[in-house]
Amino acid sequence: MKKNRWIPLVLLFAFSLASNAQDKKWTLEECVKYAVEHNISIKQTALDTQSAQIDKKGALGSFLPSLNASASHSWNIGLNQDITTGLLQNQTTQFTSAGANVGIDIYKGLQNQNTYRRAKLSIIAAQYKLTKMQEDVALNVANAFLQVLFNKEFLKVQHEQMGINEKQLARSQELVNAGTIPRGDLLDVKATLATNNQNVIAAENALLISKLSLAQLLQLDDFTKFDVVDNTILGDDNNVLAQDVNVIYDKAKQERTGLKIAQTNLEIAQKSLAIAKGGLMPTLQGFYSFSSRVAYSDRVTGVVPDALNPTTSVGFVEGTNQNVLTPNFTRTLGGPLPFFDQFSNNKGQSFGVQLSIPIFNGFSARNNIERSKVTLEKSKIALEQESLDLQRNVYTAFADAKGALKSYDSALSALEARKGSYDYAKEKFDVGLMNSFDLNQSQTLLANAESEVLRTKYDYIFKIKILEFYFGIPIIKN
């Protein structure tokens, strides 16, 4: 029974954890960090960085000697020359051979050095591309996050408008009962309330869609309970608008990743051209080789006198006609020498240098140079274009941010005036000096003013984030 008393407590604790997990609201910093860690495009770009690292290892390996070993064992079956008799006969012989070769580039038109330098630049370019991808994702997430905040506040405004209309409906009912206003005004208020209810539904749908869009940017598997922190305070905390636009542009030239990528690509193109020109230069290579072989056939181990035919006449002595005889010998055969003895006896070595001078290769080297020159010119143009785009974007972002701030200030002033106008119209309606149509018109203008304040507010915040981005201020601080 004592164990059972703990079951309700455990269930309550588990339910509490589940509720907290469902009620979690994401901050902008959490959204950006999560997106950077889980975005598929960022993961793919990170793999490009790893590929560049592998290419660097390959370029470094070109400085090292090449070492290759080989071995073979063969069977010769059929009509072969017997090495003991010199006669051709059907037999099977076996041979084993082994060797090793070492080669090293002494001079190759500096191609190896330039290839290694280009590989290091490719790593830098890949890292810049990864950084740019992270920056782009962060900006997209910030924009989506601000859209959720906008839709949240817009929904609050619609709910407030509904509350006002519900109170207005109750007040209009009282005035109709008292005979102060005609029944038609009451119907107008009901129609306005119905329209407001449609606006609330539309605002709820817009909020839901914006949440889903942000959750998809974060690559969340379960986004049914996804939500963001409501009281996020954003603005020009870094006072970037107080900076001179030329100062922001100078800072952007130092900080912006796109310009760094274009500059690095130009340097890569220069190294590629140097590599292509190296194809016209002579190459000098050193080499060393070692080889040996082993045979498994019988061998001659010695000679003995031929008992059957001990001598052979080779002629006569002049004058005496004495027969001149020479002894005959028979070779004795034995098995092959031990493997390692043969390997040592038959070994051979060679070394030297090889000079290659390109004379004509079907224009391939010349064409590679021309292609590299075209790529270099494209890189120069791309760098120039990136610099012009950056200048235009910075000045545009600065003008947009200032314009957004002015629009926001104007919207606040307009809202203040609309509130005063609506309050005055409501007072006139309550005493029967204004009909419901004019009151609804005033209320609609007030709602539009509130919506315009929200729109200009978040438009200003996002454009400030863009300007801070060019000034080198990240979306979130690490």
Residue by residue, DSSP assigns 424-436 as HHHHHHHTTSS-H
Measured in whole angstroms, the distance separating CA 199 from the mean position of its chain's CA atoms is 43
Burial class (CB in 10 A: 0-12, 13-18, 19+), 168: buried
Q: How far is CA 411 from CA 154, 160, 196, 398, in A?
A: 15, 19, 22, 20
pTM over 0.85? The answer is no
Q: What share of the chain is helix, strand, coil (3-state, %, to 5)?
A: 65, 20, 20
Look-up of token digits 């790893």: 50
CA gap 287, 53 in Å, rounded? 29
Closest CA relative to residue 188, chosen from 180, 196, 198: 196
Q: Is 225 helix (H, G, I), strand (E, B) or coil?
A: coil
CB 452 within 8 A of CB 417: no
Per-residue pLDDT of the chain in tens (478 residues, 90 and over written 9) = 444 444 444 334 443 434 444 467 898 889 999 999 988 889 999 999 999 999 999 999 989 999 999 999 888 887 777 665 666 777 778 888 999 999 999 998 899 999 999 999 999 999 999 999 999 999 999 889 989 988 888 888 888 888 877 877 777 777 677 766 677 777 777 887 788 889 889 989 999 999 999 998 888 877 778 888 876 666 666 788 888 999 999 999 998 999 999 999 999 999 999 999 999 999 999 999 999 988 877 776 777 787 778 888 777 777 777 877 788 877 777 777 888 888 888 888 999 999 999 888 888 889 999 999 999 999 999 999 999 999 999 999 999 999 999 999 999 999 999 899 988 888 887 777 777 778 778 888 888 888 888 889 888 988 888 888 888 888 766 5
Distance CA 234, CA 240 (A): 13
Q: Which residue has the tokens 């203008």?
A: 445
**H or E stretch at 460:** helix 436-470
Instruction: State the Cα–Cα distance between residues 187 and 167, nearest whole angstrom.
Output: 14
Closest CA to 70 of 99, 96, 102, 95: 99
Q: Which CATH class is domain 29-64+108-281+362-470?
A: mainly alpha
Which of 181, 59, 180, 72 has its CA nearest to residue 110? 59
The CA distances from residue 190 to 35, 170, 256, 334, in Å, are 46, 10, 56, 122
